[in-house]
Every structure is written in C-alpha cells, then in structure tokens.
Amino acid sequence: MNYINSTSPDVIQGHDLLALERFFDTTRHMIEFDVLTHNSPVGDKGYKYRVFLSEEGYQKALSAQKHGDIRIFKHARVIEGHILYDTKKHQMSR
C-alpha cells in the first residue's frame, strides 16, 4: 500500500491521492476522516487519514462513524479511478 508516513497529526496519513488502490476495480469510495478514539478499528487517535474503499469497506467506515470512533469530513465517489467529490447544496437567497 502507498501510505504517507508522518508523525505529525496535521498531515493526512493513509493512501496518497495517486495510490494504486484508487484504480482497483472494487474501489467505489474515498474518505478522509479524523480518528476520535483509541478503540478505532483504523488509525491512531488524533490523526487524519485518507483511504480508498470498496462498498463493503465504506459501510464499515460509516458504522465506525456511527459508533463515534471516526468522523468522516470528506467523501468522494470513485469511478474508474476518477474522484468525484461530494458537493454541498447551497440554498439560493433572494
């Protein structure tokens, strides 16, 4: 795996944006998240991570977020290696 290694919690750990995992046939999601607990199934408390995931892996990440172990702050769909970031819908004011 192409993991960025740093001891600084301010640097995003995990997969690089050009990691091979991004181009796997099963990859459907990219998330960036904060690790909130020492019980987290992935990562160290206080650090930020980026990972490319299958649909099953993404569901596990959502479960970890529901349990309060992580907080996903960025999500994108991945289609044939292309990263399609989620966008927030803004209300238009008159």
* Residue-level pLDDT at 10: 83
Distance CA 23, CA 93 (A): 40
The 10s digit of each residue's pLDDT in 9-62 is 789 999 999 999 999 999 999 999 999 999 998 899 999 999 999 999 999 999
Angle 30-18-6 (CA atoms, 0-180°, nearest 5)? 85
Q: Which residue range(s) make up the domain with 51?
A: 8-84
Query: Do the Cβ atoms of 21 and 54 come closer than 8 Å?
Result: no
Distance CA 24, CA 4 (A): 19
* Residue-level pLDDT at 31: 98
Ordered alpha helix ranges (H), 11-93: 55-66
Mean pLDDT for 65-69 is 97
What's the structural domain count of the chain?
1
Quick check: is 76 in a domain? yes
* Residue-level pLDDT at 42: 87
Quick check: is 46 in a domain? yes
